Amino acid sequence: MISHELSPFQGSECAIGWNLTTRLAVYHDVTVLHAAGSQEKPGAYREAITDFERINGKIPGITFVSVEQPSNTRKLAGLNKRFLSLGPTGLPVLYFMGYHFWEREAYKVAIELHRQTPFDAVHHLTLLAFREPGYCWKLGIPFFWGPTGGIGPLPKSFYSLLGSRAALIERLRAFSNQKIFNSSKRVIQANRTAAVIYTYSPDDKLLFEKRAGGKVKLMLDVGTQSHHKIDFAPRKHVEVLKGIWCGHLIERKAPELLLKALALSETTRKKIKFTFLGDGPMAEKMKELSLSLQLENIEWVSNVNRETVFKMMSEADLFVHTSLREATSSVIPEALSTGLPVICHDANGMSLAVNESCGIKIPLISPQQSILGFHAAIEKLINSPLLLEQLKEGAWKRSEEISWDNMVKNMSDDYLEAIRINRNG
């Protein structure tokens, strides 16, 4: 498995790499090629794994192989520090150039390991971004790729929410995505070579299927896990509901859509209280917007630990996720795992994680239609206690369906099937 990001103590793609690779070791002998650290912290992942093993012992069935960031990557990372204000990866073109150099190093290591003790299959796991499939599809054994995706553009009607700089970056992203997907020889060849591609949105699945040589399957990039330490206290027949919004306060998360939706009626002003969990560059702007809309049912909370977030979720009634574009976002499975119905856009991995049994999805068409959609969904749950309780039950069930363990079992079965076909010629 190729998992550039891998850490037992971090979220996002590090958590994806860790949760999938370590669980797969229950079924197979797994060798993981991972970066020694991120581009900004070159030894961080290796140190985290060492700390984990010192406390918990080694995980049976898995071998971690640390691949250093090459000198070209380190040079680009030094240059990219000037652009970190744009986001966690800085200037995307510099970040992906550096990542490409690491993939070349990982491929060299994979060739040597495969020569010493041949592998049955190889899986390119993280980065999730489709634009960099690495090189291990060349090894001549069943190749698995994903979860991956993120090809489609954001509707232009939402650019007004992004600000001039973020809108420019979004335009460049949309242009480069189309060019890379249709012109990159490695992306095209990996698409044609893969035994199975896992993609986290229906739109991406259709695009991959147009040139796929193997199967293309829908699979979330984030799974759920139980939280046995939390004392869940179901809330029934309350006068005022509790809602949660959780995330980084940035343009792409579009928190203003929820604020404007709540301002549309007395019902959503008086019959529900919302807690915004998180911080970010838009925090003060959103607080000012809340005041200008005369919303008195908003609480702002920042800098809380992970267990506190789960505890607050368990004491709420519903979860709203206004993000415009991302894979699945870990907060959606986390909300479902605490029995929270989810209201979100019907887009990307969000559309796959949430179904009619556990939430309400809003079409991603325009900001105004999103505002109206979020308002209507929240008002519907305020006025329909029975539906809210049904969706809470559905959230619990859905969280079991999309657990890390179920994801890994499906992947394991796919490995065995592809290897069987490969051996039988």
Q: Considering only residues 229 and 414, tell me which one the structure prediction assigns the higher pLDDT.
A: 414
pTM to 2 decimal places: 0.89
- SS3 (DSSP) at 87: coil
Token pair recorded at residue 221: 């990039």
pLDDT band at 165 (very low <50, low <70, confident <90, very high): confident
3.40.50.2000, 3.40.50.300, 3.40.50.1220, 3.10.20.600: which CATH number matches 241-401? Answer: 3.40.50.2000
Q: Residue 232: is its pLDDT beyond 60? A: no
Residue 282 is predicted with a pLDDT of 92
How does the average pLDDT of the chain come out, rounded?
Answer: 92
Domain boundaries, the chain: 2-219+403-423, 241-401
Topology alike, domains 2-219+403-423 and 241-401: yes
Q: What's the CA gap between 44 and 58, in Å, rounded? A: 18
Q: Say what angle helices 367-383 and 255-262 make with each other, to 10 degrees.
A: 60
Name every residue whose Cβ is closer than 8 Å to that of residue 380 and which is 6 or more positions away in sequence. 360, 387
Q: Residue 271: is its pLDDT beyond 90? A: yes
Q: What's the CA gap between 413 and 294, in Å, rounded? A: 54
**Vertex 341, ends 338 and 344: CA angle to 5°?**
120
Q: What stretches of 274-384 show up as alpha helix (H) in DSSP?
A: 283-292, 306-314, 331-337, 348-353, 367-383
User: Each residue of 240-261: pLDDT tens digit?
Assistant: 999 999 988 989 899 999 999 9
Q: Say what angle helices 255-262 and 283-292 make with each other, to 10 degrees.
A: 10
What integer is the mean pLDDT of 95-103?
A: 94
Q: What's the CA gap between 202 and 255, in Å, rounded? A: 25
pLDDT band at 229 (very low <50, low <70, confident <90, very high): very low
**2-219+403-423 — its CATH code?**
3.40.50
Q: Residue 295: is its pLDDT beyond 70? A: yes
Q: Is the dihedral of CA 380, 385, 386, 388 positive or negative?
A: positive
φ/ψ bin of 138: left (φ > 0), alpha (ψ from -120 to 50), beta (otherwise): alpha
Q: Residue 178: is its pLDDT beyond 60? A: yes
* Residue 402 and residue 291 in contact, taking contact as beta carbons nearer than 8 Å: no
- SS3 (DSSP) at 328: coil
| Backbone phi and psi for residue 316, each to the nearest 5 degrees, phi listed first | -100, 180
What integer is the mean pLDDT of 394-399?
A: 93
Burial state string for 17-30 with b = 16 or more CB within 10 A and e = fewer than 16:
bbbbbbbbbeebeb
User: Each residue of 309-366: pLDDT tens digit?
Assistant: 888 998 999 999 999 987 656 889 989 999 999 999 998 888 889 999 999 999 999 9
